[in-house]
């Protein structure tokens, strides 16, 4: 059964009631701090409906929608850009004054009336300081600056917008020297400011890294735009990729104040794309000047060396003539002395040879008789030695023969029998082992005197 006492409200009634309560409770404006999670700007109408969040780490603690009508958005965005150098965008924290409204159809909303750019500027500066400290703590802040810059940067990877004035200025300077210097460049197009710049530049840097061996350096150049939209260059991921890049990175993003972190960690930071181009050209001019200086020094030293060699050659020529004349005279003198010495020596050798021949003739006459006498004496000595040796051998042989005869007599069986031994035979053969005998065998025993027969019983 239905309860007819219930009071039923329509959704619009409830919405109007909430609107009435909120308008009575929140009658003034409030200063609120929040992060823009999504800007939701509609260029056609000019209105902006930011989605605001408050986070603790990555956890969202609160989330509300705000409203900026076209006139308010245009005014506040212009003021914000003039102070911070950047437009209102997603990911930044703002301090704003707003009133709280409720609409039965659109729900709760914060109507933004004023934004404090100085607060956001301070937040951005604080975030920038933290990023710099983080890079230094990781030990990579100056890593790209430690790379050795190539002597001649002939192959350049350029990250820029093809239609930008800065890129065209860069090309005009590089190509104007194409006849003198061979510089090759390749464009890696990317958005260079605003929210999409970070991912665009990172993507192109990663592509270049894969073919790093084909390039000598990387140039990130951007022309025009002043300081607006440069906060992307303070992004930690972009700065870290630049610091760790294997090639020297030169930046020229077109502003002279408030240096960004990416510019700080790059190998070198130039203000404009033209400055980057002139920096590259200057490297070639420096090398050219070094070659010219070396050629001049080489030519100067060559002339000096040639003069010195000519002077030394002239001195050597005079010394050679004088030395040759002196040597020729010295050799003539030595030749005369040698002729005299040869003459005297020849006469002396001739006389000495005559005396030696005479002595040899005398020796030939006397020496045969002496030699024959010596041979006779030697033969007599040898004969005496042979006779003595033969006699000694005969005596030795007789002694050995006598010894053998004595031994033979001792081994004679007759002599053995005389000492009391006897021989026992069976059928004429000697018995050495009793196991050879059988009962009834007739044995014959030989004594020194006489024989005896016996029969084996056991």
Is 2 within the bounds of a domain? no
Q: What is the CATH number of the domain that holds 93?
A: 2.40.50.140
Cβ neighbours of residue 210 under 8 Å, at least 6 residues apart?
none
Q: What is the CATH number of the domain that holds 256?
A: 3.40.50.2300
- Strands 442-446 and 451-455: what pairing? antiparallel
Q: State which of 74, 99, 133 marks the end of a domain.
A: 133
How far is 325 from 300, CA to CA, in rounded Å?
Answer: 38
Q: State which of 133, 152, 176 marks the end of a domain.
A: 133
Q: Is the pLDDT of residue 55 over 90?
A: no
List strands edge to edge, sheet with 268-269. Answer: 184-189, 155-160, 217-221, 249-252, 268-269
Is 275 within the bounds of a domain? yes
Is 181 within the bounds of a domain? yes
Bridge partners, 36 (sequence order): 52
pLDDT at 416: 72
What does the pLDDT look like over 74-90, one tens digit per residue? 999 999 888 877 788 88
Report which of residues 8 and 250 the model is more confident about: 250
Residues 224 and 110 in one domain: no
In this predicted structure, which of 113-122, 223-232, 247-256, 318-327 has the lowest mean pLDDT?
223-232
Terminal CA-CA length for the chain: 151
Q: Domain range for residue 438?
A: 398-458
Residues 256 and 159 in one domain: yes
Half-sphere exposure (Cβ direction) of 184: Cα atoms closer than 13 Å: 4
Q: For residue 123, with 0-12 CB atoms within 10 Å meaning exposed, 13-18 middle and 19 or more buried, which class applies?
A: middle
pLDDT at 25: 85
Residues 116 and 48 in one domain: yes
Q: Which two tokens stand for residue 48?
A: 């902006």
Q: Which two tokens stand for residue 257?
A: 């104040």
In this predicted structure, which of 140-154, 184-198, 427-441 has the lowest mean pLDDT?
427-441
Half-sphere exposure (Cβ direction) of 440: Cα atoms closer than 13 Å: 0
What does the pLDDT look like over 409-454, one tens digit per residue? 776 777 777 777 787 888 878 887 877 788 888 888 888 788 888 8
What does the pLDDT look like over 200-234, one tens digit per residue? 999 999 999 999 999 999 999 987 555 556 778 88
Q: Do residues 12 and 104 lie in contact, with contact meaning Cβ atoms separated by under 8 Å? A: yes
pLDDT at 219: 95
Is 30 within the bounds of a domain? yes
3-class SS string, 284-326: HHHHHHHHHHHHHHHHHHHHHHHHHHHHHHHHHHHHHHHHHHH
Q: Is the pLDDT of residue 255 over 80?
A: no
Residues 72 and 164 in one domain: no
Task: Please tell me the total count of domains within the chain.
Answer: 3
Neighbours of 99 (CB within 10 A): 15
pLDDT at 402: 83
Residues 37 and 150 in one domain: no
Is 415 within the bounds of a domain? yes
Q: Is the pLDDT of residue 341 over 80?
A: yes
Is 329 within the bounds of a domain? no
Residues 90 and 162 in one domain: no
Is 309 within the bounds of a domain? no
Residues 167 and 183 in one domain: yes
Confidence of residue 1 (pLDDT cuts 50, 70, 90): low
Residues 161 and 264 in one domain: yes
What does the pLDDT look like over 28-49, one tens digit per residue? 899 999 988 898 999 999 999 9
Q: Is the pLDDT of residue 159 over 80?
A: yes
Residues 108 and 172 in one domain: no
Q: Do residues 88 and 76 lie in contact, with contact meaning Cβ atoms separated by under 8 Å? A: yes
Average pLDDT for 364-376: 73
Q: How far is CA 297 from CA 261, 309, 418, in A?
A: 44, 18, 133
Residues 36 and 126 in one domain: yes
Q: Is the pLDDT of residue 2 over 80?
A: no
Residues 71 and 187 in one domain: no
Is 381 within the bounds of a domain? no
Residues 253 and 158 in one domain: yes
Neighbours of 176 (CB within 10 A): 12
Q: State which of 83, 103, 133 marks the end of a domain.
A: 133
Confidence of residue 323 (pLDDT cuts 50, 70, 90): confident
Q: Is the pLDDT of residue 275 over 80?
A: yes
Average pLDDT taken over every residue of the chain: 85
């Amino acid at each position: 059964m239905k309860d007819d006492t219930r009071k039923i409200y329509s959704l619009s009634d409830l919405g109007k009631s909430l609107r009435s309560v909120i308008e009575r409770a929140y009658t003034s404006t409030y200063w609120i701090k929040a992060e823009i999670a999504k800007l939701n700007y509609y260029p056609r109408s000019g209105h902006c409906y930011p989605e605001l969040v408050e986070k603790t780490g990555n956890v969202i603690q609160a989330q509300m929608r705000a409203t900026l009508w076209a006139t308010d958005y245009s005014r506040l965005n212009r003021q914000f850009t003039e102070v911070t150098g950047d437009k209102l965008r997603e990911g930044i924290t703002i301090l704003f004054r707003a009133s709280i409204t409720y609409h039965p159809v659109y729900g709760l909303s914060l109507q933004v009336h004023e934004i404090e750019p100085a607060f956001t500027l301070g937040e951005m500066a604080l975030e920038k300081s933290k990023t710099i400290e983080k890079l230094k703590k990781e030990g990579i802040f100056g890593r790209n600056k430690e790379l050795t810059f190539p002597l001649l940067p002939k192959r350049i990877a350029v990250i820029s917008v093809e239609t930008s004035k800065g890129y065209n200025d860069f090309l005009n300077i590089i190509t104007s020297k194409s006849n003198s210097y061979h510089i090759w460049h390749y464009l890696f197009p990317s958005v260079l400011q605003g929210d999409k710049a970070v991912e665009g530049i990172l993507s192109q840097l990663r592509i270049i890294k894969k073919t790093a061996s084909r390039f000598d350096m990387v140039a990130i150049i951007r022309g025009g735009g002043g300081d607006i939209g440069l906060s992307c260059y303070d992004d930690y991921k972009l700065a870290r990729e630049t610091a760790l890049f294997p090639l020297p990175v030169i930046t020229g993003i077109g502003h002279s104040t408030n240096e960004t972190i990416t510019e700080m960690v790059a190998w070198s930071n130039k203000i404009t794309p033209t400055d980057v181009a002139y920096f590259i050209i200057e490297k070639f001019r420096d090398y050219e000047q070094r070659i010219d200086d070396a050629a001049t020094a080489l030519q100067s030293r060559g002339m000096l060396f040639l003069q010195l060699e000519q002077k030394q050659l002239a001195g050597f020529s005079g010394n050679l003539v004088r030395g040759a004349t002196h040597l020729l005279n010295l050799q003539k003198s030595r030749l005369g002395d040698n002729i005299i010495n040869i003459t005297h020596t020849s006469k002396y050798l001739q006389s000495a040879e005559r005396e030696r021949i005479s002595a040899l003739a005398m020796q030939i006459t006397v020496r045969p008789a002496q030699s024959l006498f010596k041979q006779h004496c030697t033969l007599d000595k040898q004969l005496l030695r042979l006779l003595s040796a033969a006699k000694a051998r005969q005596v030795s042989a007789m002694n050995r023969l006598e010894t053998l005869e004595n031994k033979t007599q001792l081994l004679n069986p007759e002599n053995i029998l005389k000492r009391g031994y006897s021989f026992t035979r069976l059928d004429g053969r000697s018995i050495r082992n009793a196991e050879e005998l059988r009962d009834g065998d007739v044995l014959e025993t030989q004594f020194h005197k006489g024989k005896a027969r016996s029969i084996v019983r056991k």
